[in-house]
């Protein structure tokens, strides 16, 4: 007996449709009523984020999303009131408003007028008109938030962080990239240093402070005292922190990723402080730290030998530093040494001999390496990613 696809049970169709991309999920729903019914099964749309242009009224939009169980929304352009979204999706879990430049405190205030216990993720990155006033609303009505993205919200101040510390006790991830008005006082609020006013966000696990220019080592002291659960800390481009601040971070036993990229005042001494502590770092980025040299690699080998990812791009390291490090770094999987112009084939041979578990290496701009060193690197048994941008060979040297 011949079997046709129309004979399949709706549950089987739904299972098949779940493997399609979002566009094709919508297309199969237009084939016939049986396929539409199967395509509207919630299992088909599990985890899907709806990407919407809110330009004009569409009465069927939100009932359709709810029928499919979609609870994650990204607004690509916002020409209607935000309250239109909140009212239409009362059980929303994730709201991404990144880049909605026309969103204002007034618009957000009209949307958040009562508690929304289902909302866990809110992304306001690059919503440049948002100020502390909006953070007051968020702290009051979105107490279940676990992820808050505020990167590029340049009007946020320490007052806004006080409001977050007062109301968002479940927060696990906070991005404050380029919030340049934020200072040590604000970080103190987050870390619970002002308990009389705010309990703090003591469950934070991921904190991005990239390009927060007013921060000093005092912020790191606050973080080390109050944010004991922190796993990932991004301090890149924070020019106000120094080697002394690394002493505070050196005993944060939960921390497994630290980004110090382009922190101009971090030197070999700072790496020494980190290596002498009780850290169990898995990832460290000190790229473009001009004061990092071969001595740092010796410290890393002594106290941070469990690293799986190490970025040293444009640091003043040489083959000698590589020699002092490689024999202890048995866990290392990713090594970024792009633009380290003192590295030669000798350094690559040391890497090939000892870092046998490497899966990725960046040699961008390493102008002193030749075909000989490259051939040794390409023999690494686990290597999957090799970046050679700006690396030049003569025509006769090119690998055939």
Output the domain CATH number for residue 31: 1.20.1280
Range of the domain at 29: 1-46
Predicted pLDDT at 64: 73
One pLDDT digit (tens) per residue for the chain, 400 residues: 456 666 666 667 767 666 666 776 667 677 777 777 666 666 656 767 778 787 777 677 788 777 677 888 888 887 778 888 888 888 899 999 999 988 999 999 999 999 999 999 999 999 999 999 999 999 999 999 999 999 999 999 999 999 999 999 999 999 999 999 999 999 999 999 998 889 999 999 999 999 999 999 999 999 999 999 999 999 999 999 999 999 999 999 999 999 999 999 999 999 999 999 999 999 999 999 999 999 999 999 999 999 999 999 999 999 999 999 999 999 999 999 999 999 999 999 999 999 999 999 999 999 999 999 999 999 999 999 999 875 444 334 434 3
Q: Which of these three, 10, 26, 46, is where a domain ends?
A: 46
Predicted pLDDT at 298: 97
Residues 56 and 115 in one domain: yes
User: Sign of dihedral through CA atoms 63, 69, 73, 76?
Assistant: negative
Predicted pLDDT at 400: 36
Predicted pLDDT at 107: 92
Q: Which of these three, 190, 213, 241, is where a domain ends?
A: 241
Residues 262 and 221 in one domain: no
Residues 288 and 204 in one domain: no
Residues 122 and 34 in one domain: no
Predicted pLDDT at 177: 98
Output the domain CATH number for residue 148: 3.80.10.10
Predicted pLDDT at 50: 77
Residues 127 and 185 in one domain: yes
The model's pTM: 0.89
Residues 16 and 107 in one domain: no
Residues 96 and 33 in one domain: no
Residues 206 and 73 in one domain: yes
Residues 290 and 200 in one domain: no
Predicted pLDDT at 396: 42
Residues 67 and 175 in one domain: yes
Please count the structural domains in the chain: 3
Q: Which of these three, 220, 241, 262, is where a domain ends?
A: 241
Residues 39 and 55 in one domain: no
Predicted pLDDT at 43: 63
Residues 232 and 255 in one domain: no
């Amino acid at each position: 007996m011949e079997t046709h696809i129309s004979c399949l049970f709706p549950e089987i169709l739904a299972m098949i449709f779940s493997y399609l991309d979002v566009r094709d999920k919508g297309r199969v729903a237009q084939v016939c009523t049986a396929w539409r019914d199967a395509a509207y099964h919630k299992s088909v749309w599990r985890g899907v984020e709806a990407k919407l242009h809110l330009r004009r009224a569409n009465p069927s939009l939100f009932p359709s999303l709810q029928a499919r169980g979609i609870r994650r929304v990204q607004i690509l352009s916002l020409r209607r009131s935000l309250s239109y979204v909140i009212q239409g999706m009362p059980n929303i879990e994730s709201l991404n408003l990144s880049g909605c430049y026309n969103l204002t405190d007034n618009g957000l205030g009209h949307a958040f007028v009562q508690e929304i216990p289902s909302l866990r993720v809110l992304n306001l990155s690059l919503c440049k008109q948002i100020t502390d006033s909006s953070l007051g609303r968020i702290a009051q009505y979105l107490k279940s938030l676990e992820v808050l993205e505020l990167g590029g919200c340049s009007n946020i101040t320490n007052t806004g962080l006080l409001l977050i510390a007062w109301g968002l006790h479940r927060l696990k991830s906070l991005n404050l990239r380029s919030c340049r008005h934020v200072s040590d006082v604000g970080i103190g609020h987050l870390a619970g240093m002002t308990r009389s006013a705010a309990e703090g966000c003591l469950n934070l696990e991921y904190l991005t402070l990239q390009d927060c220019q007013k921060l000093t080592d005092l912020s790191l002291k606050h973080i080390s005292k109050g944010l004991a659960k922190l796993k990932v800390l991004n301090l890149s481009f924070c020019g106000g922190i120094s080697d002394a601040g690394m002493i505070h971070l050196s005993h944060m036993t939960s921390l497994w990723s630290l980004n110090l990229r382009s922190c101009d005042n971090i030197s070999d001494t700072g790496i020494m402080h980190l290596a002498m502590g009780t850290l169990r770092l898995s990832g460290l980025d000190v790229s473009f730290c001009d004061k990092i040299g071969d001595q740092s690699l010796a410290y890393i080998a002594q106290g941070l030998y469990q690293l799986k990812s190490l970025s040293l791009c444009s640091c003043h390291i040489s083959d000698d530093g590589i020699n002092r490090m490689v024999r202890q770094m048995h866990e290392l999987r990713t090594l970024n040494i792009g633009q380290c112009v003192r590295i030669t084939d000798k350094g690559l041979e040391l890497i090939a001999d000892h870092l046998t578990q490497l899966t990725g290496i960046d040699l961008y701009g390493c102008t002193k390496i030749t075909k000989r060193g490259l051939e040794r690197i390409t023999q690494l048994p686990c290597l999957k990613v090799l970046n050679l941008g700006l690396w030049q060979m003569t025509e006769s040297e090119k690998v055939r």
